[in-house]
Chain A
Amino acid sequence: MERELRLMKGNEAVAEAAIRAGADGYFGYPITPQSEILEYLMEARPYQTTGMVVLQAESEIAAINMVYGGAACGKRVMTTSSSPGISLKQEGITYIAGAELPCLIVNVVRGGPGLGTIQPAQSDYFQAVKGGGHGDYHLIVLAPASVQEMADFVGLGFDLAFRYRNPVMILSDGAIGQMMEKVYLSPQKERSKEVPEWATTGKPPTRERNIITSLDLDPRAQEVFNQKLIAKYDEIREKEVRYEEFQCQDAEYLLVAYGTSARVCQKSVQLARAEGLRVGLLRPITLFPFPTVRIRELADQVKGMMSVEMSAGQMVEDVMLAANGKVPVVHFGRMGGIVTTPDEVVENLKSKILRV
């Protein structure tokens, strides 16, 4: 079946891709800059076609807990929000991680802290990648840099979530959510009829009851569970790292950037190379697991690295850990909802790394 070409906003692409990926349910709450996802789904009425449930919850907290309930029934369920709303969801997200439930969460990031701004930012990196809620856990974090990836990562996200019984987050931003690009949409997938063995669907006489919980009052049992989670995260680190390299073969200087910043940095690489500077770009596609190994390899090749983020400097800490002191690693970023320009990146590379 041929893929369909459309011009869409990133947010609309997420919504359409969810229907086409055979999602069973969406639970959301309006917040700028991602309300188009809920609006699109309400207009599309997939409950009349694929049977996908769409419900506007009374809060982000309720929405993520509806996701918990649906996910625990073995269904492909998701929620979307933007930064302040994602903060509200953190309680639910840590319970989902603790109960080992698969689900998809999309964060169309806006500037913070607090109510911040409605303009794009990348200042939720720590929250997405390091846990976000309480306790030792990780999300699998995918960072789209185009409307196409907004669509593609929905299906990928569900697949990874079910493969590892782990919540997956698409960490986007207001720019990618709002901008329009052409996007190839996958054909409609049927909703899965498979019922995972752990799902709570009513206990038949043929099996023991299924219990979905993140509680264990026995410290030894809880530690065994923590170790099980660590083993899962290690497997994810080993198998699921995704990244893209742009002119890294002969690079003497490396930019590391994801999402919107990576789009900007592609242009910066061209500008720098026009000036005779051999600059390359590594774009992490998965932020957890992080492309640590590849960055460590590149640390043997380049003279310095600059992490470019629309934040005060968050991913730069992971770049530093990867480079492990072999080369200088600096950060450059704009904040408050301001998108970095390609020129600024080159200027800062020169002043911070080349010292010219």
Chain B
Amino acid sequence: MAEITGIKEIIRPENLVYKRTKVMTDSILSYCPGCGHGTAHRILAEIIDEEGLQSETIGVSPVGCAVLMYNFLDIDCQEAAHGRAPAVATGIKRLLPDKFVFTYQGDGDLAAIGTAETIHTCNRGENILMIFINNGIYGMTGGQMAPTTIPGMRSSTSPYGRDVKIMGNPLKMTDIVATLPGTYYVTRQSVHTPANVRKTKKAMRKAVQYQKLNRGTCFIEIVSNCPSGWKMTPVESNKWMEENMFPYYPLGDLKIPAEESV
């Protein structure tokens, strides 16, 4: 009993440096240990909470590892068909223009099967936020080659490494959407270190605020790891990501609002 009392004495508001995010549910995450999805979810949930948007938010989950996102975020959510989240979000935003609408998609969903929906949604300048988790692999189906698998990278369908002569080139979707007149804010971030988490959160907050301005699509790519699919430990995968993914997908803003670039 004495010990428990001791813990209770420690758990006092002035001692708390970390607490459960209100907009996340108690469901156990279905993500593998060390995967960036959980961190990305938490950042998004914190922003929704801090900006007071829980009652204004409608999220769209993809087909992929984040298919069950609606189990983890305590918000109204729709599950879209593979690649169709931007079209679903378009329908939502057009009918409820005052709501905060976002999609959360992986690379296979957003940059392969949903390429047309991604490009046209960004090109129309739908006032939504698109969050793009790029780990260069199809995680949920067991580690197949993705549109973003970098040259030479191994996967279950490129077991000898991606040979671009046979398998084609990786697609830099974020670079493409940054060229479209409909996008307002396009950035590429990561969540593998505390510093990067802070940067991603800052980007997410900007995107939420920009949506209120009705000036176009905000697009945040998060280059992330896939320890299971890459067959590495979480620490190894983050190191591999820094050494191999970041040179191909450099972090930073690709497009910032004109008024901020002055």
List residues of chain A with CB under 8 Å of any chain B CB: 24-25, 27, 53, 55, 57-59, 61-63, 65-73, 75, 77, 91-92, 95, 99, 200-205, 209-215
Contact = CB atoms under 8 A, between A and B. Distances in A.
B96 to A, nearest CB: 6
B144 to A, nearest CB: 20
Contact of A65 (B55, B57, B87): B87
A27 B55 contact: no
B79 to A, nearest CB: 4
Contact of A75 (B54, B60, B95, B120): B95
Nearest to A57: B87
Contacts of A70: 91-92, 94-95
A211 B91 contact: no
A70 B54 CA distance: 19
Contact of A202 (B70, B87, B99): B99
Contacts of A73: 58, 91-92, 95-96
B75 interface: yes
Contacts of B116: 58-59, 61-62
Contacts of B75: 202-203, 209
A212 B77 CA distance: 6
A66 B78 contact: no
Contact of A200 (B58, B68, B81, B94): B58
Contact of A68 (B68, B76, B88): B88
Nearest to A54: B94
A80 to B, nearest CB: 15
Contacts of A77: 91, 95
B117 A65 contact: yes
Nearest to B70: A211
B91 A24 contact: no
A65 B103 CA distance: 13
B89 A212 contact: no
Nearest to A215: B79
A211 B76 CA distance: 6
Contacts of A75: 95
A91 B80 CA distance: 11
A62 B70 contact: no
Interface string B64-90: 000110100011111111001001111
B56 interface: yes
Given A209-B77, A215-B68, 8 more contacts: A58-B120, A69-B60, A69-B80, A72-B88, A95-B80, A201-B58, A209-B76, A212-B78
B84 A55 contact: no
A4 B32 CA distance: 63
A201 B76 contact: yes
Nearest to A91: B81
Which residue, of A57, A69, A204, has the highest number of chain B Cβ atoms within 10 A? A69
Contacts of A91: 81, 84
A58 B55 contact: no
Q: When A and B form their complex, which 8 residue pairs have the shortest distance between CB atoms, in order from nearest?
A: A69-B91, A66-B91, A65-B87, A213-B79, A69-B88, A200-B76, A58-B120, A70-B91
A210 B81 contact: no
Nearest to A58: B120
A70 B96 CA distance: 8
A63 B87 CA distance: 7
A57 B68 CA distance: 27
A66 B76 contact: no
Contacts of A204: 55
B84 A62 contact: yes
Contacts of B117: 58, 61-62, 65
Contacts of A215: 67-68, 79
A205 B55 contact: yes
Which residue, of B94, B95, B100, has the highest number of chain A Cβ atoms within 10 A? B95
Contacts of B94: 25, 53, 55, 66, 70
Nearest to A76: B95
18 contacts: A65-B88, A68-B91, A69-B60, A69-B80, A70-B95, A72-B78, A73-B58, A91-B81, A200-B58, A200-B78, A200-B92, A201-B76, A202-B56, A202-B100, A204-B55, A209-B74, A211-B76, A215-B79
Which residue, of A53, A66, A215, has the highest number of chain B Cβ atoms within 10 A? A66
Which residue, of B67, B84, B100, has the highest number of chain A Cβ atoms within 10 A? B84
Nearest to B73: A209
Contacts of A62: 84, 87, 90, 116-117, 120
A69 B55 contact: no
